[in-house]
């Protein structure tokens, strides 16, 4: 058991994320499980940790307004302590004196007296001057205003303003700061939404239907869904509704052969098997051996007996795939800019250079698998991001390389309420507009 205080646990997680590259959504639950904290303190640690990581850029900007010490001269752990304490002062319902005093207590425990005096001085100055912080004005500098107010890197806000305009970018950034919904996909091979709803409600979970699909349920509660016996029996799979929509756009038919690229951990593979009524063949490829093992386990758990997990490089599949298939799903690695709500720290680890590299990789993977599509067959390209270089520009580049493909309108395969959002035959789902994860889907058909 861990006897650290709630703020010490939050500080440890924040620091291991900012300096150690840990994932907050994995480390924090582990640390909370090891602690003796009650439900209320766990909620406090969760909000403090995720909120601080989400607001890193803004918190650093505030420190610069009040500290005589330059940011790069402040020891890393002290900087994280300041960030965490400022988040409490500015953004949480915590009395200023409590946030300052607790920070000083931690500083005295971890550092020499000079550091605790520095922490005390900076935090008291911020507490006194928080109403006079010189925030930029939206009408004068909209990009910097949105960046600081809604906690996103300035380069990203500028890129989105160019793509979507000021108001939509502001709404998008605001949506990225909301807690994401927990959605499960009902395994229609084994149960029904009605029966699973009854099971969840008896277990103490609040359940609501999904927004777009019959098999989607939005659940809300405390505890671990994977501890339910019905999880081990494969009655459901935790998956956002936007990812479920991809499998419907593939539109797999019973008896067909489907190739699923970058398929691990197998969410779309198992969904495709359900839509095919477990009749046909699915070849599910991924390069990562650990993720392939996880996919095998999910295939077994969900009863997707027609799926085969294969470890292979998607750009070198000729020795593995012996003949063309009916449909290919190419859901490839991307920047993940459509799912920032699920990874509050991820927005600060992205950069424009990564996007360019990923765009090249995506084009290479899409082009590599095109040969495996039968004449008249379908190739679905999807990414959980929303920037042009990884979405529309990849499709445009692919179509210049492969003149034997054309864009096949996705509208007939979408829920009716989404069809009006189709542009040039493709769909861009947005967290702020659609209330689900952001992603892009294009359906490409090979000329017969």
Out of 173, 330, 334, 384, the active site residue is: 384
User: How far is residue 286's CA from residue 309's CA, in Å, rounded to a whole number?
Assistant: 8
Given the DSSP bridges, would you call strands 281-286 and 307-311 parallel, antiparallel or unpaired?
parallel
With a CB cutoff of 8 Å and minimum separation 6, the contacts of 131 are none
User: How far is residue 65's CA from residue 351's CA, in Å, rounded to a whole number?
Assistant: 25
- CB-CB neighbours of 118 under 10 Å: 19
Q: How far is CA 384 from the centre of its chain?
A: 8
Q: Tell me the C-alpha to C-alpha distance, in Å, between residue 296 and each of 140, 263, 292, 305, 403.
A: 54, 11, 6, 10, 36
Which among 425, 424, 370 is positioned nearest to 402, based on CA atoms?
Answer: 370
SS3 173: helix
Pair 73, 63: CB distance under 8 Å: no
DSSP 225-258: GGGSHHHHTTSEEE--HHHHHHHHHH---TT-EE
Cis before 265? omega within 30: yes
384 belongs to the catalytic site: yes
- Residues with a catalytic annotation lie at 384
């Amino acid at each position: 058991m861990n006897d650290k205080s709630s703020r010490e646990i939050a500080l440890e997680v924040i620091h291991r994320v900012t300096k150690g590259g840990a994932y907050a959504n994995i480390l924090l639950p582990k640390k909370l499980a090891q602690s003796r904290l009650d439900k209320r303190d766990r909620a406090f640690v969760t909000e403090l940790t995720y909120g601080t990581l989400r607001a890193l850029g803004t918190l650093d900007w505030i420190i610069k307004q009040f500290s005589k010490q330059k940011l790069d001269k402040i020891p890393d752990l002290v900087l994280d302590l300041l960030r965490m304490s400022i988040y409490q002062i500015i953004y949480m319902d915590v009395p200023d004196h409590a946030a300052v005093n607790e920070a000083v207590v931690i500083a005295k425990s971890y550092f020499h007296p000079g550091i605790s005096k520095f922490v005390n001085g900076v935090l008291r100055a911020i507490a006194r001057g928080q109403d006079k912080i010189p925030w930029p004005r939206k009408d004068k500098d909209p990009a910097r205003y949105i960046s600081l107010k809604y906690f996103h890197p300035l380069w990203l806000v500028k890129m989105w303003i160019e793509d979507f305009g000021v108001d939509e970018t502001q709404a998008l950034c605001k949506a990225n700061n909301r807690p994401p919904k927990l959605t499960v996909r009902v395994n229609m091979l084994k149960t029904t939404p009605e029966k699973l709803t009854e099971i969840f409600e008896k277990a103490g979970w609040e359940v609501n239907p999904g927004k777009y699909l019959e098999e989607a349920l939005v659940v809300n509660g405390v505890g671990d869904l994977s501890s339910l016996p019905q999880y081990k029996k494969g009655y459901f799979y935790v998956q956002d509704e936007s990812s479920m929509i991809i499998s419907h756009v593939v539109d797999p038919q019973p008896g067909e052969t489907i190739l699923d690229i970058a398929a691990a951990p197998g969410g779309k593979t198992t969904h495709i098997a359900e839509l095919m009524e477990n009749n046909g063949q699915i070849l599910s490829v991924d390069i990562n051996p650990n993720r392939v093992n996880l996919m095998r386990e999910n295939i077994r758990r969900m009863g997707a007996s027609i799926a085969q997990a294969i470890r292979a490089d998607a750009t070198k599949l000729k020795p593995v795939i012996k003949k063309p298939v009916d449909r290919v799903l190419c859901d490839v690695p991307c920047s993940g800019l459509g799912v920032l709500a699920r990874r509050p720290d991820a927005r600060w680890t992205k950069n424009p250079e990564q996007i360019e590299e990923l765009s090249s990789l995506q084009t290479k993977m899409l082009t590599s698998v095109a040969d495996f599509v039968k004449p008249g067959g379908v190739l679905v390209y999807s990414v959980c991001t929303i920037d042009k270089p990884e979405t529309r520009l990849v499709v445009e580049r692919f179509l210049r390389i492969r003149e034997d493909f054309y864009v096949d309108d996705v509208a007939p395969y979408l829920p009716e309420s989404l069809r009006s959002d189709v542009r040039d035959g493709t769909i861009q789902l947005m967290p702020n507009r659609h209330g689900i994860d952001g992603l892009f889907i294009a359906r490409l058909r090979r000329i017969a």
